[in-house]
Structure 1
Amino acid sequence: MVKKRPSSTRSHHSLPLDEEVEQSRLAKQKKTSGQSVIMNVSQDDESSVVVDDRTSKKILSIAKKQQDEIGMELGYAEVAKRKQFSLSGSGESGVRSEEMHEELQENEDDPDDENADLKDEMILESERKLWDGTDLNAEDVTEEEEKVMKEFMKMTPQGEGKSQAKTVIFSNQESIYDKYMEALALKRAEVDDAVSQSQTADTSSPQLDERIIAVYKGVGEVMSKYRSGKIPKAFKVLPVLLDWEPLLFLTKPHQWTAAAMYQATRRFSASANEKIAQRFYNLVLLPRVRDDIQEYKKLNFFLYMALKKALFKIGAFFKGFLLPLCEEGDCTLREAVIISSILAKCSIPVLHSSAAMLKIAEMQWNGANSIFLKTFFNKKYALPFRVIDASVHHFLSFKDDQRNFPVLWHQCFLTFVQRYKNSLSNEQKEQLMRLAQRQYHAHITPMVQRELQVSINKFPENYTQKEADDENMSEASTMN
């Protein structure tokens, strides 16, 4: 009995010979059950890829996760994207005290926040291994030099009135906490005056819930003993509160440990806006750093890291920390050396540095200002002509002063001439040469004169200031 061939075989052999040979030459592609990508090949050999919903969602989730990781590494936080709200306000920005109290009592933390804390601890460990506090101890600044600088600042320039003489007075009677409470009392007095002058009777300022006050007093006790690990959740939400300042004072920042100060600076630099960060740097970070340097003659490692973290908001740092420190006029040489060493290590945008240099150059001179200017000069920025011109006028203002200026001033003058001698006009060089003849130092002034003599005349005689500004700004953009 002859067996019949299967129908599939018959259909296979029923094809024309050329198609049968082509099928045997090409391998058949197996279809997978989870196939998600479909290739459509047109007659012009152009291909397009169609991705289904499931694969696209997976790609988007991976991309979002990577973006969050990059944001955490750079110090940003999701809480910065939220709107600020008030514990005592009403309306859209108001939050009921009961809801806030329940939220503050929750112990669960955001997993992204935990990952950020873990990465921050790893950064601290690596920084601690590399950190050597010898450059922050300012051992070269002796008490004798401090006394000489104080006596020099008390001297009245000849030919000027006594009103221009400024005596540096150091007062340690008031503690940092007293200054905090005094500032808070003044703020409350302003609010009370505004309320009393208003005509409506229902505009009395709302009070905080007693439970919220108790929570933040407990946070203060934790921050006064903090060494490492997690910080209270109630403190993490402070940067997004409209009434953060009185709650911050309830925690008594003058009793915080140095590690707690670092964590607080990290939160405010990442989550708070520019104005709130500036206020925090001025009220909390600046007096704490100065008090620590004055007490121990060096800077604590966690405060050193707090200053580096504060530079994430460089505009707030300059407005709330550096410029107020220079404006007070009582910045010691030790403080200036320590803070300037941190500025020298960190990368700062040229426009922010230019604005700070312009402000410092216009201030009344003291030794600390020369140290900060020298630090910025050594960064070798391509400065705008306006900043260079302001620096020249800063040095020329001492031309008629009969006092013998300390070495700090001459070192700053030499650094400026070395870095920007080719950016000066002939007129500015002549004025600086005359200044060098009047303010003479046996070892430094000859080097200043030599640098001015060998400099290249970058600007022709008919070169305008606008053209110089455009050229310098173009150089600064190319460097960045």
Structure 2
Amino acid sequence: MPLQHLCLFQRRRNEPFLNPHPCWRTLADIIMEKITEKQTEVETALSEISGCPMPQLDPRVLEVYKGVREVLSKYRSGKLPKAFKIIPALSNWEQILYITDPETWTAAAMYQATRIFSSNLKERMAQRFYNLVLLPRVRDDIAEYKRLNFHLYMALKKALFKPGAWFKGILIPLCESGTCTLREAIIIGSILTKCSIPVLHSSAAMLKIAEMQYSGANSIFLRLLIDKKYALPFRVVDALVFHFLAFRTDQRVLPVLWHQCFLAFAQRYKEDLSSEQKEALLELLKFHSHPQISPEIRRELVNSKTRDVEGQPPAAME
């Protein structure tokens, strides 16, 4: 009997099959090997995203969180499932969160989730939740309805419970994307005016935005932070001066938003400037001028003290 036929005969008798040669494999062996390779590839990709190996989930756990997904997709008010509340305490919380499919959550569920995660996650993990779950949902809602759902707006406000994560996970990525619309900047920026934010977090955000490529949305965020009237360290004031002076060689006709931001800076921090900085900013007004705003900026700069003149009390610093 040929060897191949003998192998099949042994299989039918449920006897253990031993390949006579390592190169001889059945179709089932090849298929199982491909499945194992693909499963390993997927697990490796997920572990790279989350930063930790992804364990195999118990089927019962999957069933529970699929049920949670159904609840969150229809949630309006009331208590949330306890299984959802314990997610921040899990080591593989991102994997569990993915099962609940955040894209299908209602706006009310997103607010409750933000409340739970901002309170119970560490700052770095909260930043990931803000950036990967909350921010895309907010932007999609604004793009579709031209306004922001009340629950999502309250979620953004609640997220400021961790201001460092809020700036790193929402505001800075939004500015760096280069696709932030003026509508998004106005809606999200209104939260900056309504909430109290520690000066250190705001100062770091202003430094970062001042170094970015210019956009109208960035000007809105920068002006709103300037209008909070912080006692900024000189390092931040200097960075803002350099931000405006970088436009000396820019041949574009700058929008009104830029001039408004410049005026707010001159009004709030005119006495924190050195004499050289004031001269450079006055020179800048010759290159970029606005008929209504530029005279106001000039008046603020000319009729103010400077921080480097002897005999003047030093400006307040943090």
Q: Do Structure 1 and Structure 2 share a fold, with TM-score over 0.5?
A: yes
- What's 1:267 paired with? 116
1:428-467 to 2 correspondences below 5 Å: 428-460=277-309
User: Partner of 2:249 in structure 1?
Assistant: 400
Q: Secondary structure of the equivalent of 1:399? A: helix
Deviations 1:292-339 (A, max 9, x none): 111111111111110111000111111111111111111000000011
Q: Secondary structure at the match of 2:241?
A: helix
- Conserved? CA contact 2:77–2:108, under 8 Å: yes
Matched letter for residue 189 of structure 2: S
CA distance, structure 1, for counterparts of residue 66 and residue 226 of structure 2: 45
Q: 1:228 aligns with which of 53, 77, 80?
A: 77
Q: Is the 8 A contact 2:182 2:217 kept in 1?
A: yes
Structure with bigger helix share is 2
Match of residue 22 from structure 2: none
Measure the CA separation in 1 of the matches of 2:212 and 2:197: 21
Aligned-pair CA distance for 1:264 = 0.3
Pairing of 1:167-316 with structure 2 (within 5 A): 188-189=44-45, 191=47, 206-316=55-165
**CA 422–238 in structure 1, closer or farther in 2 if over 3 Å, else same:** same
Quick one: distance in 2 between partners of 1:416 and 1:186? 51
Secondary structure at 2:108's aligned position in 1?
helix
**Unmatched 5+ stretches in structure 2:** 1-40
Q: How many angstroms apart in 2 are the aligned matches of 1:208 and 1:389? A: 53
Residues 46, 54 of structure 2: 8 Å contact kept: no
Change (3 A) 1:187 1:296: farther
Q: What RMSD in Å do the two structures reach over aligned CA positions?
A: 2.1
Q: Deviations over 1:416-446 (max 9, x none)?
A: 0011001101000000001111011111111
Count of aligned positions: 275
Q: 1: CA distance between counterparts of 2:274 and 2:303?
A: 13
TM-score normalised by L of structure 1: 0.55
Q: Write the mapping of 1:7-406 to structure 2, written as runs, cut at 5 A.
A: 188-189=44-45, 191=47, 206-406=55-255
TM-aligned CA deviation for residue 250 of structure 1: 0.8
Contact 1:239–1:276 (Cα < 8 Å) also in 2: no
CA distance in 1, matches of 2:262, 2:71: 48
Distance 1:213 1:307 in 2: 29
Structure-2 residue corresponding to 1:134: none
Match among 257, 264, 274 for residue 425 of structure 1: 274
Give the AA of the match of 2:209: I
Contact 1:385–1:472 (8 Å) recurs in 2:
no
Q: Write the distance in 2 (CA, Å) between the matches of 1:457 and 1:187.
A: 60
Letter in 2 for 1:304: Y
Helix, strand or coil at the partner of 2:73:
helix
CA distance in 2, matches of 1:212, 1:190: 18
Flag the 1:408–1:454 CA change in 2: closer, same or farther, 3 A: same
Distance 2:46 2:304 in 1: 56
Contact 1:411 1:444 in 2 (8 A): yes
AA aligned to 1:344 is T
CA contact (8 A) 2:210 2:243 kept: yes
1:451 and 1:343 map into 2 onto residues whose CA distance is 25
Show structure 1 runs of 5+ residues with no match. 1-184, 194-203
Q: Give the direction of change, closer, same or farther, for the CA distance of 1:391–1:251 in structure 2 (3 Å limit).
A: same
The normalised TM-score by structure 2 is: 0.82
Distance 1:359 1:388 in 2: 13
Give the AA of the match of 1:401.
D
Residues 351/262 of structure 1: CA separation in 2 closer, same or farther (3 Å cut): same
The answer for the alignment partner of 1:164 in structure 2 is none
- What letter is aligned with 2:82? K
Structure label with greater radius of gyration: 1
Q: Is residue 54–residue 95 contact of structure 2 (8 Å, CA) maintained in 1?
A: no
Structure 2 CA distance for aligned equivalents of residues 395 and 403 of structure 1: 14
2:38 paired residue number:
none
Q: RCO (CA 8 Å, sep 6+): is it higher in 1 or 2?
A: 1
3-state secondary structure, aligned to 1:312: coil
Distance 1:462 1:187, change over 3 A: farther
- The CA deviation at 1:352 is 0.8
